[in-house]
Amino acid sequence: MGLVEDARNVAREFELSSEDVNQGVKEFIRQMDEGLQETGKSLSQIPTYVTAVPNGTEKGVYLAVDLGGTNFRVCSIKLHGDTTFSLTQSKVAIPRELMVAKTSQELFAFLAKQIESFLQTHHNDHFEEYHQRRKAGEPVTDEHFFQLGFTFSFPVQQIGINKGYLIRWTKGFDIADAIGKDVCGLLQAEIDALHLPVKVAALVNDTVGTLMARSYTSPGKTGTLLGAIFGTGTNGAYVEKLHKVTKLKKMEEQGGYDDSTGNMIINTEWGSFDNQMSVLPNTPYDDALDKESNNPGIQMFEKRVSGMFLGEVLRRAILGMMKDGKTELFKDESSGTKDSNSTCTIADDSPLYKQWGIDTSFLSIAHEDQSPGYRITRQALSKHLRVDAASSEDAEAIKIIVEAIGKRSARLSAVAIGAVIIATGNLRLTAGDALGDGQKPVLEAEVVDIGVDGSLVEYYPGFEQYIREGLREIEEIGAQGEKRVRIGIAKDGSGVGAALIALVAGGRQKE
């Protein structure tokens, strides 16, 4: 058996059949319902206290700040009321000593100082007018304050639209006295100490922000159903009927929320879907990756879907072939017969031998390669993996496995998207529609709008097409249903999205 056939055998291990997709959808819906009823389930289904999505007609200037890692970003977003906006922003690195400060006050005082500097630079008229009113003892109302959305990308227990307790720090931060405190309150205290005209109106998850940003900018009048991230990680947030979120009544502490819309945005945290592995596909490569990860048994869906892990799955599949004495991948003697003028060599310090050594960008290059003799993949093997003089057959074998891993990721993404569409009843297909061939024209009122962000969905070759192929194979969606799904890129959930949540929250707090 030749090398290419060996590669096809490995690729078959990553196949996700139509039956697998449909089984996955049923289980995803079951775990969604379970997470809406009780806390501590595989799908966290976190209530966000955001109860409305924008429709593109909103106007005004709103602030957003984003503490997502080693940088702090401050933005002001001017909504023009016609689905467009303009954005002004500044970014500053967090000094290392503040990431491990003795008190949270030191970090949050620094953040408030950056907001003050931003206002003085970009909104000085408003800033000065507010201070003159204060000095003159004139009344100050809500209209004189900027509403601010705070994207805080660390684990928090959110109990209101602008209240959430820090569970733990990640990403190199370690300030012990902040644990268990309300992060919005910490920021507001330092803003107030500087007498800034700013109210922290909303605590924001960037996936929820993606949903909001898409809903404001999407064409047509249909509100967006789902915001989804397919990048380094994966997650989804969607609009749920409030009466289905039964665990809200059981939660010990919760903030108020506007129940007039009958809806609430739910942050699924779907990276942990099916941690128990009842329906998720598994290969020896997935298994080894999980066992050697820093969180074995957790985020099992994410480990098969997101960009952070696809390169590592590929690396382990390649090593598996190399260690199999029967296959000829990168073998000197066989490379000589495959390409008579070269022999393949692998550097001792090749990233192939290092955990996380292959970046997902390598998969994109190989997946897209249509060059004669797979020249581009061979160059990438040399440049990125230090595998020199690989044969065209070696490169073809790698491409076959890459395509299988990328396709599986997208089809699993279709499971999550399809499950949300079906569980929320947004398609409302007739029996004839579900069996139709997709030729019937789609009316604007029938569109299901989905906002997506992340490097996989934006840059990985054919990722959306594979998602759509998966959606067509779902029994309750079919070809006609898939045609009604509009998928659009929604950029900057932590900026524009956060500002829009501040708008929705500010409106609620005034009522």
**Residues belonging to the active site:** 153, 168, 206
Report helix, strand or coil for 503.
helix
Could you say which DSSP state residue 182 is in? B
What's the full length of the chain, in residues?
511
For residue 464, what are its two tokens?
Answer: 């959306």
From 162, 199, 78, 64, select the one nearest 118 (Cα to Cα): 64
Contacts 24+ apart (CB under 8 A), 27-35: 27/274, 27/278, 27/279, 28/270, 28/273, 28/274, 28/415, 28/416, 28/419, 29/419, 29/422, 29/423, 31/273, 31/274, 32/268, 32/419, 32/420, 32/423, 33/244, 33/423, 35/268
- Pairing status of strand 485-489 against strand 448-453: parallel
Q: What is the DSSP string of 72-97?
A: EEEEEEEEESSS-EEEEEEEEEPPHH
Q: Which residues of 68-92 are buried (b: 16+ CB within 10 A; e: fewer)?
A: eeeebbbbbbebeeebebeeebeee
Pairwise CA distance, residues 190 & 150, whole Å:
14
Name the CA dihedral angle for 226, 229, 230, 236, rounded to a multiple of 10 degrees: -50
Contact 199, 383 (CB under 8 A): no
- Alpha carbon separation from 451 to 28, 210, 438 (Å, rounded): 20, 7, 22
For residue 49, what are its two tokens?
Answer: 């206290």
Report helix, strand or coil for 230.
strand
Pairwise CA distance, residues 472 & 417, whole Å:
12
**Hey, how many other C-beta atoms are within 10 angstroms of the C-beta on 448?**
23
3-12 and 392-423 helices, crossing angle to 10°: 20
- Alpha carbon separation from 9 to 5, 318, 399 (Å, rounded): 6, 13, 13
Residue type, 23: Q
Contact 414, 452 (CB under 8 A): no
- Alpha carbon separation from 69 to 236, 498, 505 (Å, rounded): 20, 16, 25
- Alpha carbon separation from 356 to 21, 283, 315, 319, 400 (Å, rounded): 28, 18, 8, 13, 20
